[in-house]
Amino acid sequence: MELKMIDKKFEMLTGISWEEAATRSNELFVEADRLDEQAYLLLVSDKVGSSSWDEFASAKRAAVRKRCEARQEWFRITRILNSIDPNSGRTARKTLH
């Protein structure tokens, strides 16, 4: 199926273009990475105590939740692509790490 046709059908189903959906998914992964980095920065201090570990655990959970949200969004996009053209989602799945 032609790429323009896939994008048009994707937009009809979701209200946004494939490119916008992929960008949003990427932004979620970037945010998850940022939250993860913030969590580990809490452990860099010379004064790491039990409260630091609690803060780290909380920050790490937030990062994990955001990464799960990002993966779910990417899988949703892939399912939509596969519903339009079963071959179109194969490339998208290969890019997910």
The token pair at 89 is 């989602």
Mean pLDDT of all residues in the chain? 86
The pTM assigned to this predicted structure is 0.78
42-81 confidence digits (pLDDT tens): 888 767 788 888 999 999 999 999 999 999 999 999 999 8
- 3-state helix, strand and coil shares in percent for the chain, rounded to the nearest 5: 80, 0, 20
In the predicted structure, residue 92 carries a pLDDT above the cut 80: no
Q: Where are the domains of the chain?
A: 3-94
The token pair at 48 is 């790491």
Give me the long-range contacts of 39-45 (CB less than 8 A, separation at least 24): 39/63
The token pair at 6 is 């896939």
The dihedrals phi and psi of 92, each to the nearest 5 degrees, come to -60, -40
